[in-house]
Structure 1
């Protein structure tokens, strides 16, 4: 996705990528393939999901050094002192020209261990409040998580904001309906399942101050 302010020419390339623990359809864990894909996409910002093994001790599957050397992206660590990359499997990677001003993470409600990472970024044309997340599979909990995210972006005041990630919503709007008025919900194309994509589970939700395609 590329996004920009309506009155500003600079565009920003943002990618959302559920790397599924770096395990491919061949059932091999190969982080180098993930890095290659990101290098090819060349995003300014990458919002990543399932960046750890998802089982204790939840080891990171991406190397910050490899990401920087081969994809030109700085891998952020929102693990809140837990000593691993990612928060409930979520993290953000930034190109060198994107300045990080603040980084935080929150738990999302529901039985599944889900969370969101939040970054305040300085861009050439001003600040952006970015939320990266992987929402619950169960619709009831997904609606609860969306309600929490609505509170989060409302707390950003008049700041431009962007929510990106694997939102696990197969319908065009569905549980994302609280964002349907005012904000824009952009699908990222059919993304699930990898072998035979049928549902646009990856989405971008843009504040009224942003345009994107």
Structure 2
């Protein structure tokens, strides 16, 4: 099995991720840690944004200074757990537009079922960064990317907290042009499609619903 993957092994991210994995971590702490890691993943996912030199004046002198050029950004959250990453990403990228894709996984088939879709009208002119904490089977991610491309998105990145090899392979097979950035590539999936060792259900732990 071969796939392209941007795996972030920064010590701060790995430390915070270990705290998130711990079943004794409270809901409030889980949300805070997810936001903090998302800020750092936003930094890594945008590392290759193009820059250009523009003329500015400091309080002392005129200079050529680097600024980001090219497409504007759109962050797309896969509901509901994606919203936990969205907050941290917006801390770093406050000018980005925001879209939402509502999907839930059918517990029997493990296939994604859509219930909501809303993105900016000019999404075709933007770099789209899709966020979801877990890339497990990959079915929800593929469904979201299918929908985004149908809406006109052409430049897309996918950012997640944890990934399973099965999910990475599924996403790359369906959308080989989409870069995946993640903090961990875990062992694999159990019989219910959950990532092992994982951290449980990210949405439930984030919102305290289970």
Shorter chain as denominator, the TM-score bin is 0.3 to 0.5
Give the structure, 1 or 2, with the largest relative contact order (CA under 8 Å, sep 6 or more). 2
Larger C-alpha radius of gyration, 1 or 2?
Answer: 2
TM-score of the superposed pair, with normalisation by structure 2:
0.41
Greater fraction of residues in helix: 2
TM-score of the superposed pair, with normalisation by structure 1:
0.41
